[in-house]
Structure 1
């Protein structure tokens, strides 16, 4: 039985949720599916193309699908999800949560870096990516590729879920104390307000150095389960420092940029990137937002890892400047230290990262 302590549940508690039947699935978890403070969610066998995104409200997702689905197709042997379309896929994992445990979901880092817009919905759900305490039912992924068509199959993992008891959010006053003790970020202005503020790096190492990528259009398909399979220049235009401390974001284009700050998540904390303020400009950071305990942690050989930013402008061109605040990192307490930390031999792809594309692209080219 999981100890009744407020906080984010670590890997050992997630295994207990499986053992107790609070999380169920048709087959056993994959060997690397349970992360230090989150669980990857696997696509099921069937996908539905739907007319539009929706929230179930007072009905089940299946009832909504009966009204909105255009066609259904099998994912057993893989299928391509096209850009500009909306798909609903029942997930393999179902929940029967205790009344004191709730959950939130987010795209996996690799999903966000491909500009695949992914959200999780529940039966009678009134908000995306939110699972109320005591929820008993199935989970569904809403998937809409924005830039690249993607090949997915049954078992592909695009989303992740984090479980919590109570409200473990660390206040700004507490966060300042934690920062003094553990150095949560360094290399920027180190501002705390609604979480640790993150700013954008548009200078890189020097004039002519790489500072980001802009996605190309009309590319080939990306297999979401294949690592280091694609040449980056087939999908991305490199952006270099041209001795200008600003960048014009073109409307509806997708960019990969990086924070000035190196981020550190100590073992007894988990973090999430959230929007800074929708009123500060005509752009959004496509925050694939979970940072697990141990991200950038010195105890596993790192000295902080940069936060990669998935950025998209809205309806008009918008200028972002070097050092401009683009997001906030909020921290929550763990119920206990995870048995394994991010980067401790568990296949973590982004430990010690700087500017980096998703795991699908070759690095030594």
Structure 2
């Protein structure tokens, strides 16, 4: 009898072997994570007039053919996706799900930390970031850089998919708060406006001083300015046991004064001592909204919603060269230092 829950790396590989995940190219190293699969950009980006959902009766291509596309970009040699614009890129991976296995998608941690907003769209979709059980067809990613323009190429990985057998079942919830007492004399980073380009192929090669302003310790409090983007960290260490995965969700959507994350999925093994994760914090990707907002140390910022794994992963998070295991306050992998 198959066990319900989030599928681990071994079962994701098995899905591909059975044709439930398809691609003309084989998976690359680290593409299969402990409980998720990185999805790769294809060769074309469509510059859109607006975001959309196709609805139950249409495919994505039906909508693209209705006048929504402004122009096309060839990503083969690299193309700039500019801030304030909306793009749609077909993903290399397609799905042919069967049984009761569905897929949910979210931005990778490195994507959220550079303020690139992404959502995955499937044919006949009425919601973003979801492919229901039985779905057969392509996947597309909507990309909207908010602060930094990016240089993208085929094969770049901005989003990931996790596969769930059975219905979603939350086992517990934990509230995380913001740390404003500081790490090595700073509490966070504020994105600089009108910065240069982030090349997604250049890992660890961008000078953070060109893109970020450090926020010094200021007696455990700060003011979030409307429209500005910040990197902060949780006060509490986060631990994701090997038999669970977790997703970060807003603590109180009705407040409306700041958004606490873009990328919110935690693989099993994050923060686990045996996997080298002692003391790992949740990094909070925070955007101020509407009016200035007074933020204090220990203020609740988000919820971690835990789900059971269908089985433990063969390689827990941190066992395959993770960029963020045991992190405190940490920028995306694209930056040096």
Q: TM-score, normalised by structure 2?
A: 0.97
Aligned pairs for 1:79-228 within 5 A:
79-171=79-171, 175=172, 195-204=173-182, 209-228=185-204
- CA–CA separation in structure 1 for the residues paired with 2:49 and 2:26: 33
Residue aligning to 2:60: 61
Alignment partner of 1:354 is 2:328: yes
Q: Distance in 2 between matches of 1:98 and 1:357?
A: 38
Shift of the alpha carbon at 1:169?
Answer: 2.4
Per-residue CA shift, 1:48-92, capped at 9, x if unaligned?
000000001121101111120001121111100000000000000
Check whether the contact 1:95–1:135 (CA below 8 A) recurs between aligned residues.
yes
Local SS of the residue matching 2:121: strand
On the 8 A contact 2:283/2:329 being kept in 1, the answer is yes
Q: Give 4+ residue runs of structure 1 displaced > 6 Å after superposition.
A: none
The structural deviation recorded for 1:205 is: 5.0
* 1:118–1:144 CA contact under 8 A, matched in 2: yes
2-side partners of 1:279 and 1:93: how far apart?
36
1:281 and 1:318 in contact (8 A); partners too: no
Structure 1 runs not aligned, ≥5 long: 176-194
Say if 1:10 and 1:334, in contact at 8 Å, map to a contact too: yes
| Shift in alpha-carbon separation, 1:279–1:168, aligned structure 2, 3 A | closer
2:276 maps to 301
Aligned residues: 335
The normalised TM-score by structure 1 is: 0.90
Does the alignment pair 1:327 with 2:296? no
Q: Name the SS for the 2:328 alignment partner.
A: coil
Q: Distance in 2 between matches of 1:31 and 1:361?
A: 21
Pairing 1:328-347 to 2, within 5 Å after superposition: 328-344=303-319, 346-347=320-321
Distance change >3 Å, CA 59–CA 168, structure 1 → 2: closer
- Of 32, 35, 39, the residue aligned with 2:33 is 35
**Given that residues 50 and 86 in structure 1 are in contact (C-alpha distance below 8 angstroms), is that contact kept between their aligned partners in structure 2?**
yes
Q: Output the CA distance in 2 between the equivalents of 1:170 and 1:273.
A: 12
